[in-house]
């Protein structure tokens, strides 16, 4: 637990607790940032919610996760055992939504008053908290809200159909608490609203973003990217991903120093070169990989030629040409292959995800068959593969297309 609990004054003159997580000044450069209220599930502000708050703080937010069950019993923290579920549903059934929204509003106000909160305030919530997050755009001063599989939203469609700040709804296709008729109601009533964005996640169930039986990694990652896009578009913060990535690449290919290279990344990053499954997971393994199999093993004439760059809310995508002469072992691209002295020029795509102002992971793609053709380990005769021509074609679209298709005849159609 990186944060701490603080007291908040309710609107009826009482006090309740909220977990506060701040950006790490040693990593983000400041412990200040936009505010984010994190609304709990039906299990209270437990270890999972506190971990979520810490992760959002790493994204640059000052996060407050209020104890929204305090009026029933302060400090409730439940696990996901059968007993925990039974207790959680009982709490949910006795929870007063209107009073809960008053407490969310008080949390938004308290967050704005913190000296570390600079800029606007958003709300993100899960399950019960997803419902409260959705209602925050109509009942609090929040500038943006994101709801993960909010329960009972169909009861508030008329309220949510009015004028309000931006709202994102993440909806699970298999969620028994939001069956097809509920999803259809939300789509019909809110789908055309200019400030409501609905995302449905196929094959995902309720609580898909929480580790456990229903966890869905792909849905969680996509939803998080969309969440960050919505939040940053309205309240920030904004990071210079391009400069960070270029600094990272300079340490990889030009300066070739490991320690400052690792400092551009989060504490537990990972890198995956998709065609060869090389890289590493976690600081220790990745630092070993960089030191022994990447930074100091790229040939001296290695060159990266940028083609295009796309920058989003959490990711950067670089399209480039990776060029080198195979005069030294290149473990990460050609593991176990002795130097051939051949020239290689290969289109390469790097998908880089960031957490706050640090690199979180890299997914690197290229055509390994083309590399093997270029170093002479794969005979392209009769195979639908090409060598250095792929790089040439990327740089000059006027070069011939369809040269691998024996039945290609421009201007005719097959019968």
Q: Which residue has the tokens 């551009």?
A: 264
Per-chain mean pLDDT for the chain: 96
244-284 confidence digits (pLDDT tens): 999 999 999 999 999 999 999 999 999 999 999 999 999 99
Q: Which residue has the higher pLDDT, 354 or 412?
A: 354
Q: For the chain, how big is the Rg over CA atoms in Å?
A: 26
Residue 410: pLDDT band with limits 50, 70, 90: confident
Burial class (CB in 10 A: 0-12, 13-18, 19+), 173: middle
Q: What is the DSSP pairing of strand 62-66 with strand 15-21?
A: antiparallel
d(CA 195, CA 143): 11
E-assigned strand segments in 1-108: 4-9, 15-21, 33-39, 62-66
69-79 confidence digits (pLDDT tens): 999 999 999 99
Asked if the model's pLDDT at residue 29 lies above 90, the reply is no
Burial class (CB in 10 A: 0-12, 13-18, 19+), 208: buried
Cβ–Cβ < 8 Å for 378, 357: no
**Arithmetic mean of pLDDT, 153-173:** 97
pLDDT for residue 25: 81
- For residue 177, what are the contacts with CB-CB under 8 A and spacing of at least 6? 149, 151, 152, 206
Catalytic residue among 164, 170, 206, 326: 206
DSSP 319-332: EEEEEEE--S--TT
Structure pTM?
0.93
294-339 confidence digits (pLDDT tens): 999 999 999 999 999 999 999 999 999 999 999 999 999 999 999 9
Cβ–Cβ < 8 Å for 303, 292: no
Half-sphere exposure of residue 49, counting CA atoms within 13 Å on the CB side? 34
User: What are the chain's domains?
Assistant: 4-235 (3.40.50.1820), 241-395 (3.10.450.50)
d(CA 129, CA 101): 10
Q: Show the tokens assigned to 368.
A: 């390994």
**Arithmetic mean of pLDDT, 24-41:** 89
**Arithmetic mean of pLDDT, 396-403:** 95
Catalytic residue among 54, 67, 103, 175: 175
171-221 confidence digits (pLDDT tens): 999 999 999 999 999 999 999 999 999 999 999 999 999 999 999 999 999
Q: What percent of the chain has pLDDT over 70?
A: 98
Whether 193 sits among the annotated catalytic residues: the reply is: no
Asked if the model's pLDDT at residue 28 lies above 70, the reply is no
pLDDT for residue 384: 96
d(CA 392, CA 321): 10
Residue 230: pLDDT band with limits 50, 70, 90: very high
**Arithmetic mean of pLDDT, 372-382:** 97
pLDDT for residue 113: 97
pLDDT for residue 257: 96
Q: What is the DSSP pairing of strand 315-325 with strand 343-355?
A: antiparallel
- For residue 59, what are the contacts with CB-CB under 8 A and spacing of at least 6? 228, 355, 356
Whether 206 sits among the annotated catalytic residues: the reply is: yes
**Arithmetic mean of pLDDT, 122-136:** 98
Burial 29-64 (b: 16+ CB within 10 A, else e): eeebbbbbbbbbbbbbbbebbbebbbbbbbbbbbbb
């Amino acid at each position: 637990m990186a944060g701490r609990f603080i007291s908040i004054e309710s609107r009826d003159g009482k006090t309740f607790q909220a977990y506060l997580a701040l950006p790490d000044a040693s990593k983000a450069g400041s412990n200040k940032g936009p505010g984010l209220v994190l609304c709990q599930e039906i299990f209270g502000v437990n270890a999972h919610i506190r971990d979520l708050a810490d992760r959002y703080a790493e994204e640059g937010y000052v996060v407050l996760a209020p104890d929204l069950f305090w009026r029933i019993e302060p400090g409730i923290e439940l696990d996901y055992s059968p007993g925990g579920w039974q207790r959680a549903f009982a709490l949910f059934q006795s929870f007063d939504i209107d009073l809960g929204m008053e407490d969310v509003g008080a949390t938004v106000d308290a967050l704005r008053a913190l000296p570390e909160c600079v800029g606007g305030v958003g709300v993100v919530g899960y399950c019960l908290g997803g419902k409260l997050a959705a209602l925050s755009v109509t009942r609090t001063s929040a500038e943006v809200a994101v709801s993960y599989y909010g329960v009972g939203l169909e009861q508030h469609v008329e309220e949510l159909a009015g004028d309000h700040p931006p709202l994102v709804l993440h909806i699970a296709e298999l969620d028994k608490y939001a069956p097809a008729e509920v999803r259809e109601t939300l789509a019909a009533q809110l789908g055309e609203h200019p400030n409501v964005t609905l995302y449905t996640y196929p094959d995902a169930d309720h609580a898909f973003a929480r580790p456990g039986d229903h966890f869905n990694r792909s849905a969680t990652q996509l939803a998080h990217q969309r969440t960050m896009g919505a939040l940053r578009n309205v309240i920030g913060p904004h990071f210079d991903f391009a400069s960070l990535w270029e600094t990272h690449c300079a340490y990889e290919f030009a300066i070739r120093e490991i320690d400052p290279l690792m400092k551009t990344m989060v504490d537990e990053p990972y890198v995956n070169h998709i065609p060869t499954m090389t890289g590493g997971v976690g600081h220790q393994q990745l630092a070993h990989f960089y030191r022994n199999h990447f930074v100091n093993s790229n040939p001296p004439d290695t060159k990266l030629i940028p083609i295009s760059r796309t920058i989003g809310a959490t990711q950067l995508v670089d399209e480039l040409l990776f060029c080198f002469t195979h005069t030294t072992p290149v473990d990460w691209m050609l593991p176990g292959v002795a130097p051939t002295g051949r020239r290689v020029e290969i289109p390469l795509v790097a998908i880089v995800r960031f957490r706050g102002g640090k690199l979180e992971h890299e997914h690197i793609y290229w055509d390994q068959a083309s590399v093997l053709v270029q170093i002479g380990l794969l005979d392209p005769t009769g195979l639908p593969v090409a060598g250095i021509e792929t790089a040439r074609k990327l740089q000059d679209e006027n070069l011939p297309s369809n040269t691998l298709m024996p039945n290609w005849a421009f201007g005719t159609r097959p019968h």
